[in-house]
Structure 1
């Protein structure tokens, strides 16, 4: 990969996750403080990413693998997304905001698979090259959180501005996408079945028992993960943490460090150990949140946040590489869409319906919660998933041929 291509892919990743981090981290706080939502309504707002993730494989399979170049689709989706984010910034009620972010997430979630697909197509060895590109996405998320904390938007009740900041990033990436390396559909001139057009051929991956267990575990671990994405920022603000969004960016700093070390860990630990370590880290961080506070046990909150690098990289990035290696050339886009479907789709969809009612059940008045009891629930779920995964998963990916070679 030449330096210009590497720079373009890196900037693409930076903007992709800057956009998401710019409004998504503080969404729960915005909803509860500005729009007065319940825990269940907040979880419904975060459920929109699941709706988008479930639809994503069909968009990728229908368009990116068959008809249009991935970089052009990416550009169009982000230009439309930018307009929707700007519109969302002026919402004054949950009923007005909800349909906007539903449509936005249907457009945004497919772009997560598209940026991976565009990147993988330029690489000879993704297990060694991908992490150095993907790390710029993490840096983008960090910058977004630091800007929010530095400008004091949480303390000054100005979180509506996060949508405008994200909109600006989306417009920029939409335009920039048309300069990215050409990534034409691999199956453009082939006769394809309906299942291929819809990206359903990637389901053949599930015939591999190891991958099937990984896929099921991905869904299960995203149930407790949804507690973090939906309620962590609200929890930190209720606990009295200053500039919570900025402090939360420490998690992405950790993610950056471990992202760079993934090639080393991938070789030395293998898929099974990396995935298991990633899952056990989720259980540990929730336990730390349960017993941490903004006083003497503030260090527990900081360590819990810093564990994000292991939580995310060891499970999700490793899973993306594992999927890419197994899928082969012809099904890369659809296979990444399948991962998005299982994690951000089905798993977080279930997590949204589980987390919201639990948070409401432990509400104390209108502005406080019994967070210790709340966090111990996802900690227990994550621990159970880890134990079952470690006992049942067999790491056979090195001996498995890609789908395109079968």
Structure 2
């Protein structure tokens, strides 16, 4: 492994260690330590969507035009370290929310920046990027294992004692490290003036013409809708598992990231053998199935159902979202591919999940009685919603061939 590849791998590890180190247990912390309602927890998670909406402007209007990507990355993580420390100190939701909103506004653009820094150092990104990006997934997994099995901050006693607050302190320190480390990364200067990203590309306006095609429009709308059940997982999975007594819930949830790596390897086989429609339908079906498993699983005799539901994350994410990115890339013209990816990301992680977190908060409050959550009813809602999207997509979307190499 070369020195540059090693540094890029460390960058990816730290980038996703930070995210996995606090975001997974956020709902549990807010509900138990700050007494937040379901709607308030939804507000906190929706800051990810606001960050995703703002991110293209930060990257396209600043990093792509005026400053080196690694320097912008470093500054944003240093700002993030300060905001994360303020989240650690917050004693109520009213104080916590402005800091998490500010943090996600700073963090979400860094997801694109680490890619920009990586691509800027690679001769053949299609062959080299995967070997670097996989360390991000490893970082997320290690964060969960450290929290669960290293510090046991997500145990029943630790949660009752407010120990989950320490995840913010840990991630603040790692953010500080990441911020300083970013300035040692290889220089990634902005694009020259002639290649500068325009406002039309940032907003994905050049890709809007793709929506005139019936199949892509159906896929686009389905992507937004399927993000509604997706939001339930991010927001409620960890609180659910800890609430029903699953020990080391955060560590067990890393099974989802492990399966993500495995199913990523299987994705090209499915795409080439069964086509894009069947692959997307399998991804949607996995969302519906996992929530049914959550609805009827428990921490005792039904723990296998819960673990299976977590392990389905690889199919849920890879077979719909990653294959959807491949489909979008194949449908776009060479000139509009970046704009098309920006448009679909803005629609899913921006608009779709913004709606999803709001719905998840309302449904959670609806099925909460005297501080007791009726989890079976909460999970059956996204299961039914995902199944409806699945059926509609299956009937309306026409079969077409898309290469996994697109």
TM range (shorter): 0.7 to 0.9
What is the TM-score normalised by the length of structure 1? 0.88
1:244 to 243, 249, 261: 249
CA change 1:303–1:46 in 2 (3 A) is same
Post-superposition offset of 1:51: 1.1
Q: Which residue of 2 aligns with 1:27?
A: 26
Partner of 1:373: 377
Instruction: Give ranges in structure 1 of 5+ residues lacking alignment.
Output: none
- State the match for 1:52 in structure 2: 51
1:86-97 correspondence to structure 2 within 5 Å = 86-97=85-96
SS in 2 for 1:31: helix
Whole-Å separation in 2 of the counterparts to 1:18 and 1:12: 10
Alpha-carbon distance change, 387 to 107 in structure 1, aligned in 2, over 3 angstroms:
same
Q: Distance in 1 between matches of 2:328 and 2:195?
A: 23
Instruction: Work out the CA distance in 2 between the residues paired with 1:199 and 1:79.
Output: 29
Query: Please, what TM-score do these two structures have when normalized by structure 2?
Result: 0.88
Partner Cα separation in structure 2 for residue 338 and residue 106 of structure 1? 18
Q: SS state of the match for residue 189, structure 1?
A: helix
- Distance in 2 (CA, whole Å) between partners of 1:239 and 1:139 is 27
Q: Give the SS at the match of 2:174.
A: helix
Contact 1:110 1:337 in 2 (8 A): no
382-391 vs 284-293, which deviates more? 382-391
- The correspondence of residues 3-402 of structure 1 with structure 2, limited to 5 A, is 3-120=2-119, 122=122, 124=124, 126=126, 130-150=129-149, 151-155=151-155, 156=158, 157-186=162-191, 188-189=193-194, 194-196=199-201, 200-207=205-212, 209-324=214-329, 334-366=339-371, 368-394=372-398
Shift of 1:235: 0.7
Moved more, 233-242 or 325-334: 325-334
Which deviates more, 43-52 or 324-333? 324-333
Distance 1:23 1:47 in 2: 15
8 Å contact from structure 1 (residues 286, 375) kept in 2: yes
Provide, for residues 100-128 of structure 1, a one-character-per-residue CA deviation record: whole Å limited to 9, x for no partner.
000111111122233344445536363x6
Shift of 1:190: 5.1
CA distance change for structure 1 residues 321 and 191 in 2, over 3 Å: closer, same or farther? closer
- The 3-state SS of whatever aligns with 1:160 is helix
Q: How many residues align?
A: 397
> Quick check: 1:285–1:304 contact (8 Å CA) kept in 2?
yes
Report SS of the residue matched to 1:89: helix
Residue 362 of structure 1 and its aligned partner are, at CA, apart by: 0.9
Q: In structure 1, what is the Cα distance between the partners aligned to 2:324 and 2:129? A: 12
Q: Bigger shift: 256-265 or 81-90? A: 256-265
Question: CA offset at residue 139 of structure 1?
Answer: 1.4
Contact 2:291 2:380 in 1 (8 A): yes
SS state at 2:183 partner:
helix
Q: Which runs of 5+ in 2 are unaligned?
A: none
Query: Using the alignment, how far apart are the partners of 2:332 and 2:189 within structure 1?
Result: 18
Contact 1:65 1:188 in 2 (8 A): no
